[in-house]
Amino acid sequence: MLNSFALAVSTTVIVLLVASLAGYVFGRLRFPGRAVLMLGILAISYFPPAAFVIPLFQAFAANAPITIPFTQVPLFTPPRLLNTPGSMVLPFSALFMPLSVFILTTFYGQIPDGLEDAARVEGTTRLGALFRVIMPLSAPGVATAAVLTFIAVYNEYFFSSIMATSPEPAKWSPIVGGILSYQTQYTTQFNLMAAASVVGVLPVVILVVVAQERIVSGLTSGALKE
């Protein structure tokens, strides 16, 4: 449970930070190819996670150096990240980033330019205006992206079951792996699996109850016109 919580929090922080910067660019700046680039980012979420498992496993296992495409010239040997949080946080961040970028782009684009211009006149930078003006005014969107990312990572098991293969008791197995450990070759302890499932879902329930107003307003924003 602590492993899943640590992975979810780390991924959520990384996703919000990068998605906020990307959402600001796509939502408030106008440049050629913006729609095509956004479509390319969203296309990442269309691919099944299984398509990335083998190359990521080879890269994180550091079995061979990364070479220049179409050549055998080595560029560098990646660090061994297998059985570490990095082997799960990095893929999670890439997989759940497009949805957060799309949500924050929509919200940041609705903030009036006058508010940001007033902050810029007072001497703040673009980053200062983003974190001091735009993000607080887009709190429902930020909360929605954070909660959806947290829940998705907290319940994820596919990448974790492959990247956390250490037989040690302190391995980075998520909560789903802990629940499944009660199922052995010959017996299944359904009572312990049920109890662990109830305990494991409590953080998500508490998070949703606390942030439900933000989530509902974030998901329904822009659905109605006055």
pLDDT at 124 over 50: yes
Report the Cα 3 to chain-centroid distance in Å: 16
pLDDT at 162 over 80: yes
Residue 12 lies in a domain: yes
Residue 94 lies in a domain: yes
**Residue bearing tokens 């299944």:** 188
Exposure string of 100-121, with b = 16+ CB inside 10 Å and e = fewer, is: bbbbbbbbbeebeeeebeebee
pLDDT at 150: 92
| pTM for the full predicted model | 0.82
Q: What's the average model confidence in pLDDT over 124-128?
A: 85
Question: What's the domain range around 178?
Answer: 2-220
Q: CATH code at 46?
A: 1.10.3720.10
- Domains contained in the chain, number: 1
Residue 65 lies in a domain: yes
Residue 126 lies in a domain: yes
pLDDT at 125 over 90: no
Residue 225 lies in a domain: no
Residue 226 lies in a domain: no
Residue 52 lies in a domain: yes
CB distance 142 to 219 below 8 Å: no
Distances from the Cα of 133 to the Cα of 26, 100, 138, 146, 147, angstroms: 17, 19, 9, 18, 21
For residue 185, how many other CB atoms are within 10 A of its CB? 5
pLDDT at 226: 44
pLDDT at 219 over 60: no
Residue 43 lies in a domain: yes
